[in-house]
Amino acid sequence: MKYISTRGESPSLNFEDVILTGLAEDGGLYLPEKFPEFSQSEIASWSNLNYQELAYKIIAPFVDGEIPKADLKAIIEKSYSTFRHDGIAPLVQTGHNEWILELFQGPTLAFKDFALQFLGNLLDYILDKRQQKVVIMGATSGDTGSAAIEGCRQCENVDIFILHPHGRVSDVQRKQMTSVIEKNVHNIALQGNFDDCQKMVKSSFADQSFLPDGRQLVAVNSINWARIMAQIVYYFYAGISLGAPHRAVSFSVPTGNFGDIFAGYLAKRMGLPIEQLVIATNDNDILHRCISANDHSMKPLIHSLSPSMDIMVSSNFERMLFELYDRDGAAIKQLMEDFKSGEMVLKEEALSKARQLFSSCRVGDEKTLSVIQDVFENTEYLLDPHTAIGLQAARKTRRSMTTPMICLATAHPAKFPEAVKKAGQAKEPALPHHMRDLFSREEKFDVLENDIKVVHDFIAANMSA
């Protein structure tokens, strides 16, 4: 299987090379030349598989034999052995044909663990085989950072540098990152917002001259194809659990960087009968505005109660545009140039395709809090603010009550105690047992100004020999 850039000007790569490359030389993102497709009978035959067994079925065609079967199975098994729930991604019912898919059972209590536990083990395998050392540079709005650090902290061939917006992540999110005291782990609190962090990471991938000879950057953000690939699995797992392929299912996805819902689109394309995909945004609603009004213009970023979605530049939307524009790399390159000036407008044919594939909804802080309160009063189930947005968007846009609606729970409520208390819960949600001592742990991070040279100098000075 070969992988191509969304901007059409970079050479195609094989699987292992695309995992180590991240962003293409032309600034684009990599996608497979073609996607595997599974028949309805094949999907039906997976009904008794556990999560790890199903993950192998979904992931193996993308790897296409580059990693031996036994080794790939071992990587997958190891990646999900750290999850606290035997079901890995359990479903909880909150209403008639309404389900919460709990994606927070991993070690850092967020959906990012599904991809980053896998990516960490995958990198360890590839780098050990190649006897190569790399530098991971990533940006986080809260959850990617801790999941990436947890996935890569034991990787002997990796130095990891994570940028988060200083003062704009929750205390739990920050402590999860900064309390990992390992020689190869470096937390940078950037004096800016998430988009500033993400822009700096992308610029660094475009020009890696600040690194010494023999080192390269590797992405842990969802620009890395492995992130998307691993997330496709839980759509199939949830869908099959609720009767697919013999019945259709729908999903509502709290959306910031578009990677998670893009994985849902790919699951649909690969054969899972998905009736509806809902893009759920907070007040930073560029994706909702794009789908509903063809308004993909930059606006000032709003600091919300759902900080992991405080994003205005959704990197993975470029992958979706590539699909909507029939894989026309030149058209995507022009769209990205247009967006640099602050706005892009989709052609009608592409917009029409997007509206057939996706519903969208914006949910503000006030409504987020009322949903958390209402759901707890009616079911005694506690939502985090991101999941509450997904649930409200599902209820507002849902087309059919006979089709199961699955809302992705992207984080444990204990990661956002301030929002939960504002929603009227007198008692803060407790952290799971393995994290009860989080706030007594030693903390280490560096506050740096929003200047790419300052950050590059810091990375160069703190790499292992």
What is the tens place of the pLDDT at every residue in 173-213?
999 999 999 999 999 999 999 999 999 999 999 899 999 99
Q: Is 195 part of a structural domain of the chain? A: no
Which residue range(s) make up the domain with 242? 80-110+225-422
Asked if residue 400 has pLDDT above 80, the reply is yes
Within-domain flag for 207: no
Two tokens at 198?
A: 């993400």
pLDDT band at 143 (very low <50, low <70, confident <90, very high): confident
Confidence bin at 141 (pLDDT 50/70/90): confident
Average pLDDT over residues 369-378: 95
Structural domain contains residue 117: no
User: Residue 159 — pLDDT band, cuts 50, 70, 90?
Assistant: very high
pLDDT of 427 > 80? The answer is no
Give Cα separations from 136 to 115, 165, 452 (angstroms).
Answer: 15, 18, 16
Q: What is the mean pLDDT of residues 109-134?
A: 95
Quote the number of domains for the chain: 1
Among the options 112, 175, 268, 333, which is catalytic? 112
Tens of pLDDT along 62-104? 999 999 999 999 999 999 999 999 999 999 999 999 999 999 9
Tokens representing residue 223 in the block = 């620009």
Cut 0.85: pTM above it: yes
CATH number of 391's domain = 3.40.50.1100
Question: Residue-wise over 203-232: b if at least 16 C-beta within 10 A, else e?
Answer: ebbeeeebbeeebebbbbbbbbbbbbbbbb
Residue 196 lies in a domain: no
Residue 268 among the catalytic residues? no
Has residue 379 been placed in a domain?
Answer: yes
